[in-house]
Amino acid sequence: MARTPPTKPRKNALQARSRATVDALVEATARILVRDGFEKASTNRIAEIAGVSVGSLYQYFPSKEALVAAVIDRHNEEIMGIVRTALAEVADLPIDKAVRKLVTIAIEAHRIDPKLHRVLAEQIPRTGQLKDVEAFNREVHDLVRTYLESRRKEMRKIDLDVATFICVSSIEAVAHNTVLNGPEMLSEKMVRTLVDETTRMVVGYLR
């Protein structure tokens, strides 16, 4: 048999299979969380649904918590992606346009897999994940603060950190509660009204 080239020797095969296994496990965890809730999500069950053995599960995730954390990370990354993109797009817009976009985006972000979002928000005991949640909040805060800083001339004199804190908290809460209150509040018309009103409040506050 011919020689195998020196490059790319020892991790291909390993990755092809194990990557798939890891993905299947995370996906299975998410599905069980949505379908049966946190309490019913045992490692045995997760492995079963993923079509993987418990033993293999524990080769890639040291604990059940790690598995759930992976699901949370994936979800958070999705949301952060949206938020980052939105804030980049908004960088050159005046405050009123920017806030409107951000409010819209906030609701949209919460609408990604709302069932999973609900389970993560309501059923997952935040044990150890505190760091992650904090980092998440921190990044959002910093991004928004940076934007506001660049638009300071449109604003009244105001402590930037306080303003950011209040605006982010409020927008997030409206988006969160809107989505959690079920599909009733998610009619096109309702969403538009909420975006209008929240934007009005925040913009009015900032300047």
Instruction: Give the residues lining the site for a copy of itself (CB under 8 A).
Output: 37-39, 122-127, 130, 158-159, 162-163, 165-166, 169-170, 172-174, 176-177, 193-194, 197-198, 200-202, 204-205
Beta carbon nearer to a copy of itself, 2 or 162: 162
190 binds DNA (CB under 7 A): no
Tell me the CA end-to-end span of the chain in Å, nearest whole number. 74
What whole-number distance in Å separates Cα of residue 17 and Cα of residue 143?
A: 38
User: 């990044």: which residue's tokens?
Assistant: 139
Q: Give SS3 for 51.
A: coil
What whole-number distance in Å separates Cα of residue 179 and Cα of residue 102?
A: 16
Which of 23, 35, 42, 128 binds DNA (CB under 7 A)? It is: 42
68 binds, among DNA, a copy of itself, none (CB under 5 to 8 A by kind): none
41 binds DNA (CB under 7 A): yes
Beta carbon nearer to a copy of itself, 56 or 141: 141
43 binds DNA (CB under 7 A): yes
What Å distances lie between residue 8 and 1, 12, 18, 22, CA to CA? 18, 7, 17, 22
